[in-house]
């Protein structure tokens, strides 16, 4: 499979706007169980303007959810991964999680597939957080917030994995064998040196290539395949990532579940399995106004 190399960069140079503020709370229902692709936003005027306006662009899923910021689950089977120093739960108890955090009303649009949001595509790799944000901004979108990504992954039923309670390679592209990379080659500025090494390391599947690896909202490849840059819900001054966060894990034996997050890498970090996907505020959501918020 040919490896898509568009957007390759050890440090992104795209002009990126300041991170958007957290999405405002809404009075929307807790679950939008019928989330599907919406029609393109209409630009009609006059009598046609009275027609319903799609909340999300074509190819994006509308998610409305009562999200819990921190939950407890019962793990029934786990393994310890020595190289990564991780306890990985392979099977959870089939029961709703206990909310031990705060409830937040989320209302957002999210790409159905990893960037560039096309079924069968190969996302760009070796992109840092700034480049990922720039790619989304160029399409009139933004990076997903950490909580939005998690909500879309867990679906309306609050599952620990997109498709259920058990971790399995049969459903998502995870638990592939580790191939030792040549760091000198993957960070080389010479395509003739870099690209063959990226191809050798690539264990991904095309976007949507695992049809069962889909959340209850219809969002694909949220765990495994590629690690995805997101915007942290809050700054973590003691972590390298500070305002960035990586979600989903990649194709290896790592934190491939909806809740875990990696914050140990700087926003300038890029790697051969790191990519992204984009989010957007719904058309009906009023833009955030600092002046209006301060007046309340």
pLDDT tens-digit map of 126-161: 999 999 999 999 999 999 999 999 999 999 999 999
> Cα separation of 34 and 105, whole Å?
17
Q: 40, 89, 37: which is closest to 63 by C-alpha?
A: 37
Element counts in the chain: helices (H) and strands (E): 5, 12
- pLDDT tens across 35-64, in order? 333 333 333 344 334 445 679 999 999 999
Contact 212, 163 (CB under 8 A): yes
> What pLDDT, on the 0 to 100 scale, is given for residue 253?
86
> What pLDDT, on the 0 to 100 scale, is given for residue 121?
98
- Residue 123, φ and ψ in degrees, nearest 5: -60, 150
Contact 221, 213 (CB under 8 A): yes
Segment (H or E) for 229:
strand 227-236
pLDDT of residue 188 exceeding 50, the answer is yes
Contact 144, 231 (CB under 8 A): yes
34-48, 189-203, 217-231: least confidently modelled range: 34-48
Residue with tokens 């040549």: 182
66-80, 183-197, 263-277, 279-293: least confidently modelled range: 279-293
Report the top-level CATH class of 56-284.
Answer: alpha beta
pLDDT of residue 185 exceeding 90, the answer is yes
Strands 227-236 and 274-276: parallel
Residue with tokens 């160029």: 138
Helix/strand/coil for 131: helix
CA 136 to chain centre: 12
Distances (CA, A) of 202 to 209, 252, 285: 15, 11, 39
> Cα separation of 269 and 240, whole Å?
10
> What pLDDT, on the 0 to 100 scale, is given for residue 90?
85
Q: What is the dihedral of CA 38, 44, 45, 51, to 10 degrees?
A: -40
Helix/strand/coil (H/E/C) assignment for every residue in 157-197: CCCCECCECECCCCCCCCCCCCCCCCHHHHCCCCHHHHHHH
Strands 142-143 and 103-111: unpaired
148: its two tokens: 């939005």
122 or 3: which carries more pLDDT confidence? 122
16-30, 56-70, 157-171: least confidently modelled range: 16-30
**Beta bridge partners of residue 134, listed in sequence order:** none
pTM of the full structure: 0.78
Q: Where are the domains of the chain?
A: 56-284
């Amino acid at each position: 499979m040919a490896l898509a190399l568009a957007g390759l960069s050890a440090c992104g140079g795209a002009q990126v706007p300041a991170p958007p503020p957290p999405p405002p709370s809404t009075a929307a229902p807790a679950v939008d169980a019928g989330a599907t692709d919406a029609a393109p936003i209409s630009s009609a005027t006059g009598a046609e303007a009275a027609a319903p306006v799609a909340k999300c662009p074509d190819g994006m899923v509308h998610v409305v959810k009562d999200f819990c910021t921190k939950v407890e689950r019962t793990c029934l089977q786990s393994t310890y991964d020595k190289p990564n120093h991780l306890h990985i739960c392979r099977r959870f108890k089939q029961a709703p999680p206990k909310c031990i955090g705060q409830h937040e009303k989320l209302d957002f649009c999210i790409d159905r597939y990893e960037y560039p949001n096309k079924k069968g595509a190969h996302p760009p790799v070796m992109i840092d957080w700034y480049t990922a944000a720039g790619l989304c901004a160029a399409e009139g979108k933004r990076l997903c917030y950490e909580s939005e990504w998690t909500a879309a992954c867990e679906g309306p039923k609050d599952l620990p994995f997109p498709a259920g309670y058990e971790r399995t390679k049969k459903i998502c592209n995870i638990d592939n064998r580790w191939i030792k990379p040549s760091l000198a080659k993957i960070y080389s500025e010479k395509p003739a040196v870099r690209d063959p090494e990226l191809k050798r390391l690539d264990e991904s599947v095309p976007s949507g290539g695992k049809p069962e690896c889909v959340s209850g909202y219809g969002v694909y490849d949220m765990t495994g395949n590629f690690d995805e840059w997101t915007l942290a819900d809050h700054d973590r001054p003691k972590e390298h990532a500070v305002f960035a966060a990586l979600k989903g894990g990649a194709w290896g034996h790592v934190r491939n579940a909806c809740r875990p997050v990696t914050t140990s890498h700087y926003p300038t970090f890029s790697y051969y399995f790191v990519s992204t996907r984009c989010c957007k505020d719904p058309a009906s959501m009023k833009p955030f106004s600092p002046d209006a918020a301060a007046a309340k």
